[in-house]
Amino acid sequence: MSQKQDHVTVYVLSDSVGETAELVVKAAISQFDEAKTTIRRIPYVEDTGTVDEVIAEAKDNKGMIAFTVVLPEIRNYIITRAREEALPIYDILSPLLTIMEDRLQEPPKNESGLIHTLDEDYFRKVEAIEFAVKYDDGRDPRGIMRADVVLVGVSRTSKTPLSQYLAHKRLKVANVPLVPEVEPPEELFSISSDRVIGLKISPEKLNGIRTERLKALGLKAEANYATMQRIEEELVYSEQTMKRLGCRVIDVSAKAVEETANIIFQLVQSEQEEKS
């Protein structure tokens, strides 16, 4: 039985980006006191020199190693070196690969990074995510002209999470908050209304969301931001602006972000099919 430690560093090795291995390790760590653990991810391990460096550091820190490595020579070297230094190791992929090989009666490809092949689709996704971050919350109205979809609505109508969710579906999304005291950017009125989606919400639902938000920030729930008078003022202004824009409107009061995102995605897909 190993000696009890106050803190353990888990070295996560992969010959790809290492996301799979890290997620598995995080799932295991969640069952313990997470403050007692540290994860160090080492991606793109393709040579024995990198393995030796990690082994040496893990030995000094009395750490452990988890890995997803499909290249046989590197995988075997990790196992051999870890055993030589009496380091605990966990091979995440090999047991499953062995079972599948037996069932399918064919050898694995042993090619690293297949799950994250850097094809055109992958780059489009990354570009869309970066776009959503750059043009979030009306930061730069120039994004409106370049966006596939522009979301408009009052504060706390899920514009930001919707932008990110749709970005993972390869759509470039900008979002603009509607505030009575601030005139919407003129770019909003110069693009096709088909590219603009308005988000509306019931006053009661918005009041609950904003009240909880204030509590989370340690502020008083009766702040003007969450009062029904202010909310109704904002919603009236928002409705008027959406009518000026002539955009489609989705009521998000009783919808999860995923549900709203799927509705928007289907609308965009339908339009693209009609145009093609």
Distance of CA 21 to the CA centre of its chain: 17
Give the CA-trace dihedral at 53, 54, 58, 59, to 10 degrees.
Answer: -40
**Closest Cα to residue 167, out of 256, 261, 257, 273?**
261
Q: Are 192 and 248 in contact (CB under 8 A)?
A: no
Strands of the sheet containing 248-251, edge to edge, are 173-177, 149-153, 196-200, 248-251
8-state DSSP, 7: -
End-to-end CA distance of the chain: 66
Q: What angle do the packed helices 72-84 and 48-60 form, to 10 degrees?
A: 30
Q: CA–CA separation, 20 vs 97, rounded Å? A: 14
- Write out the binding residues: 153-160
- Write out the binding residues for ADP: 153-160
Query: Which tokens sit at 59?
Result: 């030995």
* Run of H or E residues at 248: strand 248-251
Q: Checking phi first, is residue 200 left (phi over 0); if not, alpha (psi -120 to 50) or beta?
A: beta
